[in-house]
Chains A and B, each alone.
Chain A
Amino acid sequence: MISFILYKFLFALIFFVVALVVAMYSTYGERKVAAFMQDRVGPNRAGPFGILQPLADGVKMFMKEEVIPNTSDRKLFLLGPSLAMLTALMTGVVIPWGSPMNFNGHTFPLQLTDINIGILYVFGVVSLGVYGIMIGGWASNNKYSLLGALRASSQMISYEIAMGLAIIALVMKTGTLSLGAIVSQQHHTWNVFIQPLSFLIFLICAFAETNRAPFDLPECETELVGGYHTEYSSMKLGFYLFAEYINMFISSAIISCLYFGGYNIPFQDHLHLSGNLLPILQFLVLFAKILFFIFFFMWVRWTIPRFRYDQLMNLGWKGLLPLAILNILITGVVLWATGAFK
Chain B
Amino acid sequence: MLTTRSKKINKSEMSLAERLYLPAILNGMSITFRHMFKKDATIRYPEQEREFAPVYRGQHVLKRDDAGAERCTACGLCAIACPAEAITMDAAERKPGEEHLYREEKYASKYEINMLRCIFCGMCEEACPKEAIFLTDRIVHTEYDRQGFIYGKDLLVEKMDHRIDVSKRQTTDVLVFKKGDQSERHNQLGK
Binding site for B on A (CB under 8 A): 33, 35-41, 44, 299-300, 302-304
Contact = CB atoms under 8 A, between A and B. Distances in A.
A41 B44 contact: yes
Nearest to A204: B22
B29 interface: yes
Given A299-B33, A304-B25, 12 more contacts: A36-B35, A36-B40, A37-B32, A37-B33, A37-B36, A39-B35, A40-B40, A300-B29, A302-B32, A303-B25, A303-B28, A304-B28
13 contacts: A36-B36, A36-B40, A37-B32, A37-B33, A37-B35, A41-B44, A44-B44, A299-B29, A299-B32, A300-B25, A303-B31, A303-B32, A304-B25
Interface residues of B, number: 14
Contacts of B33: 37, 299
A303 B44 contact: no
Q: Which 6 A-B pairs have the closest CB atoms?
A: A36-B36, A37-B32, A303-B32, A41-B42, A39-B40, A303-B28
Contacts of B39: 39
Contacts of B44: 41, 44
Contacts of A39: 35, 38-41
A303 B33 CA distance: 9
Q: Is the interface of A mostly helix, strand, loop or mixed?
A: loop
A36 B36 CA distance: 5
Contacts of B31: 303
A41 B40 contact: yes
B40 to A, nearest CB: 5
Nearest to B36: A36
Question: Which one of B39, B41, B42, B44 has the greatest number of beta carbons of chain A within 10 Å?
Answer: B42
Contacts of B25: 300, 303-304
Contacts of A38: 35
Contacts of B32: 37, 299, 302-303
Nearest to A315: B21
B42 A303 contact: no
A290 B168 CA distance: 58
Given A36-B35, A37-B35, A39-B35, A303 B40 contact: no
A204 to B, nearest CB: 10
A89 B58 CA distance: 56
A36 B28 CA distance: 15
Nearest to B39: A39
A53 B25 CA distance: 31
A295 to B, nearest CB: 10
Nearest to B40: A39
Interface string B12-47: 000000000000010011011101101111101000
Nearest to A34: B32
A40 B29 contact: no
B23 to A, nearest CB: 13
B21 to A, nearest CB: 9
Contacts of A35: 40
A299 B33 CA distance: 8
A35 B38 CA distance: 11
Nearest to B29: A303
